């Protein structure tokens, strides 16, 4: 192996170890002490319950595990995992959205990031047509931050709005209540299509005993006010009484055993393993994230049979092939690819080719994979006069209007309007994945430092106090550090700008799962509005 490849491989393996540490911090929030505390209450950590909910021997595809780190909420620097766990797993063969509060993180209460994560899970479920299971164990709103979580759209009330509407669409909303779900949190039990409560462990009420005492003078225990027996035998607010968590898990599985089987809406070919090893990705992605990439190698390491049927391979070489287009199969699922290549700068020819391919795949009803490593569209008079603005806009329009499932994975720079054209978050891809090589920001730190420095220089010169050379360097370094920090996959993952930071070795399995889930609903017909051509 060449020295460069070895350097690359070691670099990315070390980077992914950093990721593993952060994931571990979320999974083991509170450490052994927190697990012991749960155990005294007869409870298991929520991920253990989820592992039992899904079919034996299958994988739980947990999303956004690194949410909530470094949020700097007043007095609470980290919310491990955002305080809620969610992901997709199979229950009786059907892909199902499973969410669970993590009571080890401030009693499973809802911070702004918790809500954002909960909403994202529901949005994926609604879009892909997944039944939902809620493992509910939450103290409700995190009260010190009520102003940022309570009344607005996409805040606390939206959880129940979403449950109601998904239920009306025929998507089952099942709640397994395994703790105190108080006040607003109680609706997660009462809004469900079917609710399972655990005796002497779960309770739900709009106002807890202290509030009742204050409001009416009534002295009553939590159990007598809204315990599992009260709601399953008296109020009718819940439907199944279970003796413990194991019993409750079995009941939820039994309820969902009556669901019809799912199938994907397009033809699936026989899956084949790639011929190229996954280590090719580690070896060939430069450790320097600003260095160009050879994306065909990456595709060969994830595609069935390492086959990439390239579209317009010969077109406008050196400009058009900063995006490569074509088809691969992922575990038998045909996928149209739009991938950054080389330096990834999008020239007119690349934008036109990408737009053409998006339209073509939409007509064929083939889902789209965007592999993003682009620092932006080409600037300058030649590019402007050739119409980069309008062709870039065409690409953005095609991305926006394509009815087929679209998934983005970033493996390099993700800047400027290239974030839009390559199906960034605002373009609502079904799933958006980052890797340790992705860097998402409006521009690179170096460019931002240059632009901001020129503004600062003008300002200081006008004040008659021009910047010294040392001040200029300090200013630039500060700006680069800020941008590098904010573009990093950890920063973005903490804020749910991605659905997961994937290891390169996970790309094939996760993309195949994501396409399969995204294809459970029928694909609409193409309609693109006013493309300029
Ligand atoms: C939309 C409207 C709403 O949701 S209003 C929300 C109203 N919520 C409530 O009244 C619930 C109050 N909390 C409780 O009753 C208990 O904490 C429950 C949820 C039963 C959990 O009890 P337990 O397992 O013993 O944990 P704990 O009390 O030691 O709490 C652990 C840490 O979490 C905190 N916590 C709890 N609830 C809230 C809350 N709603 N807002 C802010 N913080 C909350 C506790 O203070 C405690 O924090 P710390 O670990 O001591 O720093």
Residue nearest to atom 19 of ligand 1 (CA): 139
Q: Are residues 160 and 268 in the same domain?
A: no
> Is residue 162 in a domain?
yes
Q: In terms of domains, do 250 and 350 share one?
A: no
Q: What is the pLDDT of residue 396?
A: 97
Of 238, 256, 274, the position where a domain reaches its end is: 256
Burial of 521 (0-12, 13-18, 19+ CB in 10 A): middle
pLDDT at 453 > cutoff 90: yes
pLDDT given for residue 434 in this prediction: 98
Q: What is the rounded distance in angstroms from the CA atom of residue 104 to the CA atom of residue 202? A: 16
The burial of 503, by beta-carbon neighbours within 10 Å (0-12 exposed, 13-18 middle, 19 or more buried), is given as buried
Domain of residue 146 covers 31-256
Segment 279-313, tens digit of pLDDT: 999 999 999 999 999 999 999 999 999 999 999 99
Query: Do residues 53 and 117 both lie within one domain?
Result: yes
Is the residue at 22 inside a domain? no
Q: What is the CATH number of the domain that holds 292?
A: 3.90.226.10
Same domain, 139 and 59: yes
Do 350 and 455 belong to one domain? no
Q: Give me the sign of the Cα torsion angle 127, 128, 130, 133.
A: negative
Tell me, yes or no, whether 23 lies in a domain. Answer: no
Residue identifier of the C-alpha nearest atom 15 of ligand 1: 139
Q: What is the mean pLDDT of residues 158-178?
A: 98
Structure-token pair, residue 85 = 């766990």
Q: pLDDT tens, 313-355?
A: 999 888 889 999 999 999 999 999 999 999 999 999 999 999 9
| Angle, CA 427 vertex, CA 424 and CA 430 arms, to 5° | 85
Do 213 and 84 share a structural domain? yes
**14, part of any domain:** no
Nearest residue to 391 (alpha-carbon basis) of 362, 361, 350, 426? 350
Q: Does 411 fall in a domain?
A: yes
DSSP for 336-347, please give it: EEEEE-BT--B-
Q: Note the pLDDT tens digit of each residue in 350-404.
A: 999 999 999 999 999 999 999 999 999 999 999 999 999 999 999 999 999 999 9
Measured between alpha carbons, how far is 170 from 168 in angstroms, rounded to an integer? 5
The answer on 189 and 84 residing in a single domain is yes
Averaged pLDDT of the chain = 96
Percent of the chain whose predicted confidence (pLDDT) is above 90: 95
Centroid of ligand 1 to alpha carbon of 97 (angstroms): 26
Q: In this model, does residue 533 exceed pLDDT 80?
A: no
Q: What is the pLDDT of residue 82?
A: 98
In a domain, 9, yes or no: no
| Closest residue by Cα to residue 524 from 127, 98, 7 | 127
**Contact, 283 vs 9, CB < 8 A?**
yes
Q: Which runs of E-coded beta strand occur in 220-288?
A: 240-242
**Per-residue confidence (pLDDT) for residue 15, from 0 to 100:** 98
Using one digit for the tens of pLDDT, what is the confidence trace for 458-482? 999 999 999 999 999 999 999 999 9
- As for ligand 1, residues whose beta carbon falls within 6 Å of it are 106-107, 109, 139-143, 150, 156, 180, 182-185, 208
Cα(80) to centroid(ligand 1), Å:
16
pLDDT digits (tens, 9 = 90+) for 46-91: 999 999 999 999 999 999 999 999 998 988 989 999 999 999 999 9
pLDDT value at position 532? Answer: 85
pLDDT over 70 percentage in the chain: 100
Is 274 a member of any domain?
yes
Residue whose Cα lies nearest atom 33 of ligand 1: it is: 106
Shared domain for 39 and 165, answered yes or no, is yes
* Cα-to-centroid distance, 102 and ligand 1 (Å): 12
Average pLDDT over residues 225-253: 97
For residue 54, the 8-state DSSP code is S
Give domain status of residue 130, yes or no: yes
What distance in angstroms lies between residue 182's CA and the mean position of ligand 1's atoms? 9
What's the domain count of the chain?
Answer: 3
Q: How far is the centre of ligand 1, averaged over its atoms, from the C-alpha of 152 (Å)?
A: 22
Complex-level ipTM: 0.98
Token reading at 68:
């909530």
Long-range contacts of 253-256 (CB under 8 A, 24+ apart): 253/53, 253/91, 253/92, 255/172, 255/174, 255/194, 255/196, 256/91, 256/92, 256/94, 256/96, 256/131, 256/133, 256/172, 256/174
| Alpha carbon distance 4, 394 (integer Å) | 38
In the structure, what pLDDT confidence band is assigned to residue 531 with cuts at 50, 70 and 90? confident
């Amino acid at each position: 192996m060449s020295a460069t490849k070895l350097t690359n491989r070691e670099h990315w393996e070390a980077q992914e170890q950093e990721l593993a540490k952060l994931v571990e911090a979320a999974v083991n929030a509170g450490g052994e002490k927190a697990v012991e505390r749960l155990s005294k209450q007869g409870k298991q950590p929520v991920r253990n319950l989820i592992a039992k909910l899904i079919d034996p021997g299958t994988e739980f595809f947990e999303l956004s595990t690194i949410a909530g780190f470094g949020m700097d909420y007043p007095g609470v620097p980290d919310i491990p995992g955002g305080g809620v766990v969610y992901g997709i797993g199979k229950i009786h063969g059907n892909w199902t959205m499973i969410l669970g509060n993590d009571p080890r993180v401030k009693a499973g209460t809802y911070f702004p990031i918790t809500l954002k994560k909960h909403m994202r899970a529901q949005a994926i479920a609604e879009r892909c047509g997944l039944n939902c299971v809620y493992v509910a164990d939450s103290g409700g709103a995190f009260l010190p931050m009520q102003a940022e979580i309570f009344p607005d759209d996409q805040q606390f009330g939206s959880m129940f709005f979403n449950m109601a509407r998904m239920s009306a669409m025929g998507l089952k909303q099942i709640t397994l209540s395994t703790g105190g779900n108080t006040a607003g949190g109680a609706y997660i039990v009462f809004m469900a299509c079917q609710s399972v409560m655990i005796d002497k462990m779960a309770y739900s009420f709009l106002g807890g005993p202290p509030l009742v005492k204050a409001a009416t003078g009534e002295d009553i225990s939590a159990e007598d006010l809204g315990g599992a027996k009260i709601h399953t035998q008296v109020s009718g607010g819940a439907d199944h009484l279970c003796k413990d968590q194991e019993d409750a898990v079995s009941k939820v599985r039994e309820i969902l055993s009556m669901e019809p089987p799912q199938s994907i809406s397009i033809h699936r070919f026989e899956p084949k393993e790639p011929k190229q090893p996954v280590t090719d990705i580690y070896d060939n992605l430069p450790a320097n994230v600003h260095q160009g990439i050879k994306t065909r190698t990456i595709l060969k390491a994830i595609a069935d049979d390492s086959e990439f049927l390239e579209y317009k391979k010969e077109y406008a070489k050196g400009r058009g092939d900063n995006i490569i287009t074509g088809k691969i199969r992922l575990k038998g699922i045909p996928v149209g690819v739009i991938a950054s290549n080389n330096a990834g700068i999008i020239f007119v020819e690349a934008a036109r080719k990408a737009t053409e391919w998006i339209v073509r795949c939409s007509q064929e009803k083939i889902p789209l994979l965007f592999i993003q490593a682009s620092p932006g569209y080409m600037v300058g008079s030649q590019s402007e006069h050739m119409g980069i603005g309008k062709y870039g806009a065409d690409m953005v329009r095609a991305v926006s209007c394509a009815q087929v499932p679209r998934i983005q994975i970033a493996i390099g720079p993700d800047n400027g309007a290239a974030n839009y054209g390559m199906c960034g978050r605002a373009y609502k891809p079904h799933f958006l994945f980052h890797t340790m090589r992705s860097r998402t920001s409006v521009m690179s730190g170096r460019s931002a430092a240059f632009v901001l420095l020129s503004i600062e220089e003008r300002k200081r010169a006008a004040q008659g106090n021009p910047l010294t050379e040392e001040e200029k360097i300090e200013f630039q370094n500060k700006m680069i550090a800020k941008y590098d920090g904010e573009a990093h996959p950890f920063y973005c993952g903490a804020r749910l700008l991605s659905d997961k930071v994937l290891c390169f070795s996970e790309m094939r399995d996760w993309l195949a799962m994501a396409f399969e889930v995204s294809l459970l609903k029928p694909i609409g017909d193409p309609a693109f509005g006013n493309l300029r051509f």
